[in-house]
Structure 1
Amino acid sequence: MSDITIDETRRHVLGLGCERGTPPAEVMALAAQALDAAGIAGMALAAVASIESRRQEPAILAVAAHFSVPAVFFDAARLEAETPRLKNPSEIVFARVGCHGVAEAAALAALGADAELVLGKIKSRHATVAVARIGLHKA
């Protein structure tokens, strides 16, 4: 598990993927849609997670800042290790970044082996978002 703090109120991670230069408003709207679909409040987030190549992406950093949580990043090899647990693996994503999914894989990677996807990847024009959680007894 990465260096995020999990407690009884913050045990979800929002996984984010986006094209370079995606407007922050587009990613924020998609994040809000995902949280609504998953039935969780933003205050339930422990972190946002993405691929290392997006470490400086303004849209991802804006979402983390909005929810006052850390942004954590993983290299493509670490995200690829999550492929067996993905609901929506993609050969197109693999061809572009070297792993079969960013949003789902990053959310799972942030929480470790006992995490589960609450919401598989949803898409906007330039971004993807997924939500994972871990039970307290497993943290």
Structure 2
Amino acid sequence: MTTRFGAIPAPADRFVAGIGFASAATADEIIALVQSCLVDLELHASQLAAIGTHMRKRTSPLLLPVALHFAVPLHLLDDDDLTGDVPGVADAVAAMAGPLRLRKRKSGYATCAIARCAPGFSMASFGQPLSANAPMVASTLLTSSAAP
């Protein structure tokens, strides 16, 4: 788990969305699913502290547009971060922030779960922040392999 000193904890009225998605998903689908989950909980997007997903998604070009849409950091968690009894990526990621308020909801190719940030939750110990160039690398690879 990543830890940084002097981190400011997230307020208790903040939430984290855990997401999972297949390669066929689109950023619009993930955004719509997260928005739908927030509406189900009667929450506003401004209450999101972060969005998290599994480290294996780090090169997906979908992550940056989703994080930018909600104007929150996106954090990546690996298997060591997700040890526990919570099955599924979306639920396991969200549960790392605190108690689940909404268990996994599905769309065609994406999943989302939402947790309330527990007292003492610190963004600095919530996985690793998405590197800004990870989606760019994935995008460059996709476009450079295209035929002329």
Q: Secondary structure at the match of 1:20?
A: coil
Q: Who is 1:107 aligned against? A: 94
Separation of aligned partners in 2, 1:118 and 1:22: 24
- CA displacement at 1:21 relative to structure 2: 4.4
Q: CA RMSD in A?
A: 2.2
- Counterpart in the other structure of 1:117: 100
Once residues 114 and 101 of structure 2 are traced to their aligned partners in structure 1, the CA distance between those partners, rounded to angstroms, is: 5
TM-score by length of 1: 0.74
Query: Stretches of 4+ moved more than 3 A in 1?
Result: 1-10
2:99 and 2:118 in contact (8 A); partners too: no
Cα distance in structure 1, aligned partners of 2:54 and 2:11: 26
Aligned equivalent of 2:111 = 128
More helix by share: 1
Contact 1:27/1:127 (8 A) holds in 2: yes
Are the aligned partners of 1:16 and 1:60 in contact in 2 as well (CA < 8 Å)? Answer: no
What residue ranges of structure 2 are gaps of 5+ in the alignment?
122-148
**Identity fraction in percent:** 33
1:1-139 mapped onto 2 (5 Å cutoff): 6-8=9-11, 11-79=14-82, 81-82=83-84, 84=85, 86=86, 89=87, 101-109=88-96, 111=97, 115-136=98-119, 138-139=120-121
Pick closer, same or farther for the CA change 1:9–1:58 going to 2, 3 Å.
Answer: farther
- 5+ residue gaps, structure 1, are 90-100
Of structures 1 and 2, the larger Rg is shown by 2
Count of residue pairs brought into register by the alignment: 118
**Aligned-residue offset at 1:134:** 2.3
